[in-house]
């Protein structure tokens, strides 16, 4: 699916004929700006300049929109781990590929990943997303453990803590990265690889 952009222009009122993707992109932008719980279907339809019934033509409910956006982010992140697992026999190579891939997903799908990272588990949709996030973390932790057993990743940092720190660094990018801004997304992926694997110290 195409990427909902946080800088998607707010559509003008009275301009009909959105497709589902556009409605989703605007809804995710509003959720990120004012919070999912604080956003009503009336807010969404007002922002889109659509009647509520026109909005319900695209989506059954507010939570259906949330579910689609969260699944979009989670599908992309899980695909990164699947792809790394299929390609690289060495766990340390898989880890490198996962770090690079996760940064790419984050910069390409910034609005839906931002929404995912703010999920706290209110309601079934959020709870299901947290379960998938936890399973994702466990898969990556297992890969870090395997890379430690290979002797290619240091084993004086606990694998679960190391995974949390790597993703702490990656996920923090949603706080300041802006598409089209001065930081190139590919460069950022390489920077995060450099810092997390090689460290900031000169050698």
The conformation of residue 17, written as its DSSP 8-state character, comes to -
Q: How far apart are CA 71 and CA 173, in angstroms?
A: 20
Q: Which is nearer to a second copy, 16 or 35 (CB)?
A: 35
178-186 LR contacts (CB < 8 Å, sep 24+) = 178/6, 178/7, 179/5, 179/6, 179/7, 179/107, 179/110, 180/7, 185/103, 185/104, 185/107, 185/108, 186/104
Q: Determine, following the binding rule CB under 8 A, whether residue 168 of this chain makes contact with a second copy.
A: yes
Q: Least distance in Å: CB of 108 to a second copy?
A: 19
Q: How far is Cα 108 from Cα 170, in angstroms, rounded to an integer? A: 13
Residue 60, interface with a second copy (CB under 8 A)? no
Q: Does 54 participate in binding a second copy (rule CB under 8 A)? A: no
Q: How far is the CB of 35 from a second copy (least distance, A)?
A: 8
Q: How far apart are CA 153 and CA 37, in angstroms?
A: 41
Work out whether 183 is an interface residue with a second copy (CB under 8 A): yes
**Per-residue binder mask for a second copy (CB under 8 A), 69-98, x = binder:** -----------------------x------
Which residues between 137 and 166 bind a second copy (CB under 8 A)? 151-158, 161-162, 164-166
The closest of 46, 200, 164 to 54, measured between CA atoms, is 46
Q: Does 135 bind a second copy (CB under 8 A)?
A: no
Interface residues toward a second copy, by CB under 8 A: 35, 38, 92, 151-158, 161-162, 164-173, 175-176, 183, 188, 191-192, 194-202
């Amino acid at each position: 699916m195409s990427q909902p952009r946080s800088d998607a222009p707010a559509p003008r009122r009275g301009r009909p004929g959105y497709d589902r993707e556009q409605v989703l992109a605007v809804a995710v932008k509003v959720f990120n700006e004012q919070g999912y719980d604080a956003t009503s279907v009336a807010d969404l339809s007002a922002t889109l300049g659509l009647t509520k019934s026109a909005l319900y033509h695209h989506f059954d409910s507010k939570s259906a929109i949330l579910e689609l956006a969260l699944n979009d982010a989670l599908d992309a992140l899980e695909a990164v781990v699947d792809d790394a697992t299929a390609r690289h026999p060495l766990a340390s190579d898989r880890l490198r590929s996962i770090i690079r891939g996760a940064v790419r997903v984050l910069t390409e799908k910034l609005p839906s990943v931002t929404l995912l990272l703010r999920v706290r588990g209110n309601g079934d949709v959020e709870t299901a997303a947290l379960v998938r996030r936890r399973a994702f973390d466990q898969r990556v932790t297992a890969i870090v453990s395997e890379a430690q057993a290979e002797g290619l990743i240091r084993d004086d940092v606990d694998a679960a803590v190391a995974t949390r720190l790597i993703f702490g660094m990656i996920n923090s990018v949603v706080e300041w990265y802006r598409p089209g801004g001065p930081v190139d997304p590919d460069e950022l992926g390489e920077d995060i690889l450099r810092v997390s694997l090689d460290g900031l110290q000169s050698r």
